[in-house]
Chains A and B, each alone.
Chain A
Amino acid sequence: MPEIITREAIRLGLQEALESDDRVFLMGEDIGAYQGSYAVTKGFLEQYGDERVRDCPIAESGIIGAATGAAMAGMRPIVEMMTINFMLLGIDQVVNHAAKLSYMSNGQIQVPLVIRAVTGGGGRLAATHSQNFEGWFASVPGVKVAVPSDPYDALGLLRTAIADPNPVIFAEHSMLYGRRGEVPEEPYVVPFGEAIVRREGADVTLATYGRMVYTSLEAAETLSTRGIEAEVIDLRTLNPLDTDTVVQSVRKTNRVLVVEENWRTGAFSAEIASAVHEEAFDDLDGPVGRVNGFDVPAPYNAKLEDASIPTAERIIEELERLYNP
């Protein structure tokens, strides 16, 4: 199996869609002539032409609105949001239009729209370019949210997203584009709503997604040297959310922390924690813990930024505080 990086996996998914389906086209800022802020669409303009690789003005509401209209009319638009931070300008198009049209037309209208959005902090991009809003969109009925953490899932989930008749937010963490992994040449998909156990362990469950999968795995390795085996679960999609896999794991480990990069207050980790409390209360050996980013605007200072994002040390400290395992 060839090893490629996540950026390459997403490129493969987009090329495959562009080549196999005439209805597929790309919209976004700097995706053509500039070749993509994260170089995902490098060479695409030359290869597929400006009809299918459409550079757009800095007008997120307009881009998402136009793409929604195209999807309603039978096209399969794939939008790139340079960062999920800019999506706030298009949030009305997502929540009030793309997410609602199928429901309000009694299914007469479908919106097969994919919005690729670059999410996450850690890139020294300061307070307005380092946020994680995928959890916000995951709370909206009618929108699906995928959060791949490696090349295999990036390609497999992108295939599922493009094939889905509903709007999908495809949140790509900026710090994971260079992550390497095996991707098979033969066709496969990663279905939505199926979490995966990244590391098995009997003593504590770490439920997480995106970049925090690696922070959790790092914590698990440290815990292992102390005789505590952590089970790390990568959720892979936030909506639909696979709570069953988490609950099954908790029935075994009796301890659980939800690890998420986003701010703590109102974070999606609280949704997961609540579900675990409801479904696995009698199996818990303590309260469901949450390890989130601190409730501060992302600092520009590198040390402060790193300190604002969950670390392996914080995961271990929280485990000790809540469970004293």
Chain B
Amino acid sequence: MATELTMPQMGYDMKEGTLVRWLKAEGEEVSIGEAVAEIETDKAVVEFESTEAGILHKLLVVEGDVVPVGQAVALVGAAGEEVSIDSEVAPSDSLPSVEEEQEIDEPTPAVDTGPSDVPVQEPPTNLQEVRASPIARRLAAERGVELSQVKGTGPGGRITKKDVLSVEPSQAPTEVPVISSDIESPAPASPVSVADEVVPLTRMRAQIARVTTRSKTEIPHFYVTTQIDMSDAMALRRQINDNLKDDGVRVSVNDLIIKACVNTLKKYPKLNAYFSEEGIELHSAINVGIAIAEEDGLTMPAILDCGSKSLAQIAAASDDLIQRTQSGTLQPDEYTGGTFSISNMGMFEVTSFAAIIQPPQSAVLAVGTVQKIPVIRDDQVTVSEVMNATLSVDHRVSDGAEGARFIVEVKNQLENPLKLVM
């Protein structure tokens, strides 16, 4: 019997993917782990590897199709096997088909709440023009209300502003995060300000909007900030880069910070964890996500298994990750596997900032520019290279005291940088 290849979940918040290109044709043989197609997620184009071995009997979607996660895209089976498409590709109960989703999105008919003596207009048909006031039309367009579903109470059955507003609550988008069910929905603002231009959301913008909203809605952030004297770390970095240049080693400030965090995470595993209703999921692997700015957004891919890597190896892995982010050839694990993240705005002359935690992680470190400022050392004013760092922590997982101990240990690591190369 043939087996389905289904659209994989290649990101924490991935709901669908575009099948960009088939790499195998019907009738070709595939093995487990062999790339059969390219799939575009919210973040990149990645290769889709077969989870089955056999003959690729049937391609179920065409190039360019947007396919929900979990839906079959192809059937793989033994040579000579008969494939009955009807029986094989019936959508499973747990996953809504595309059609079902569309039905959910369809506006529900307005509930008749008006008094019964109000003149009722016959339900408009395609042949019958909908009568609506200018502001009613404008509000309906802004709120996604289908005017043909609204009963007009104005003169001659004209749909008025009041009529559109009265159906608005049932049309509210279902994806808006609700913090508490007993919070009243805010009254629609009037007059409504109109945008001069609407820039459509790219997939990346939409993804960032979803993830950050979810993070800020679900995760109770708290923040701990400290100042780190980077003088010794910078000196060490110069020394390493000067001496090991011929070996191809080039360590960035960020690499030092990654290494300091990795060493610290080993002592404080709760910040290398995911929160779940069942408990705090600790990870033995330390996969450090780094924020990489792109043209219209950013990605936070992770350097996998940093716990076993030396500083030089982290530097190399970091370079590699940045290059593959730019070429769009990151692996799914690198998107989803992060256990802790670092966001570095050092290149922007930013003194300090706080970052949003990337779900399902529990913490992110935000670092600013390394800058020379006067500091007091041994009761003497002297010039130091200083960097501010702010740790954002999920309060469900950890508390202020641990956050403080964590960031002070990071500071300790960077101010005694030999710890980074030992």
Contacts and interface: CB of A to CB of B under 8 A. Distances in A.
Nearest to B137: A282
Contacts of A321: 155
A254 interface: yes
B133 A284 contact: yes
Contacts of B138: 282-283
Contact of A286 (B158, B190, B191, B194): B158
A282 B138 CA distance: 7
A161 B155 CA distance: 44
> Chain B contact residues (Cβ within 8 angstroms of A): what range?
10 to 19
A281 interface: yes
Interface in A306-325: 321-324
Contacts of B27: none
Contacts, number: 40
Contacts of B194: 282
B160 A282 contact: no
A282 B154 contact: no
A285 B155 contact: no
Contacts of A285: 133-136, 154, 160-162
B14 to A, nearest CB: 39
A282 B153 contact: no
Interface string B145-178: 0000000011100101110000000000000000
A323 B133 CA distance: 10
B154 A283 contact: no
A251 B191 contact: yes
A283 B138 CA distance: 8
B230 to A, nearest CB: 55
A286 B153 contact: no
A281 B138 CA distance: 10
Given A251-B191, A254-B161, A282 B135 contact: yes
A124 interface: no
Given A283-B191, A285-B161, A322 B155 contact: yes
Nearest to B154: A324
B134 A283 contact: yes
A252 interface: yes
B155 A284 contact: no
A285 B191 CA distance: 12
- Judged by DSSP, the binding face of A is helix
Interface residues of A, number: 13
A284 B160 contact: no
Contacts of A322: 155
Q: Which of B133, B154, B162, B190 has the most A CB atoms < 10 Å from its CB?
A: B133
A283 B162 CA distance: 13
B140 to A, nearest CB: 12
Contact of A282 (B134, B155, B158, B162): B134
Interface in B191-247: 191, 194
A286 to B, nearest CB: 5
A14 to B, nearest CB: 44
Interface in A238-283: 251-252, 254, 281-283
A139 to B, nearest CB: 27
Contacts of B154: 285-286, 323-324
Nearest to A320: B155
Contact of B160 (A252, A281, A323): A323
A323 B134 contact: no
A286 B163 CA distance: 13
A252 B190 contact: yes
A284 B159 CA distance: 12
A274 to B, nearest CB: 15
A254 B135 contact: yes
A64 to B, nearest CB: 45
Interface of B: 133-136, 138, 153-155, 158, 160-162, 190-191, 194
Nearest 10 A/B pairs, CB to CB: A285-B133, A251-B191, A285-B161, A285-B160, A282-B134, A284-B134, A282-B138, A324-B155, A254-B135, A285-B135
30 contacts: A251-B191, A252-B190, A252-B191, A254-B133, A254-B161, A281-B134, A282-B138, A282-B194, A283-B134, A283-B135, A283-B138, A283-B191, A284-B133, A284-B134, A285-B133, A285-B136, A285-B160, A285-B161, A285-B162, A286-B133, A286-B154, A286-B155, A286-B158, A286-B160, A322-B155, A323-B154, A323-B155, A323-B160, A324-B154, A324-B160
Given A251-B191, A254-B161, 12 more contacts: A252-B190, A254-B135, A284-B134, A284-B135, A285-B133, A285-B135, A285-B136, A285-B161, A285-B162, A286-B154, A286-B155, A286-B158
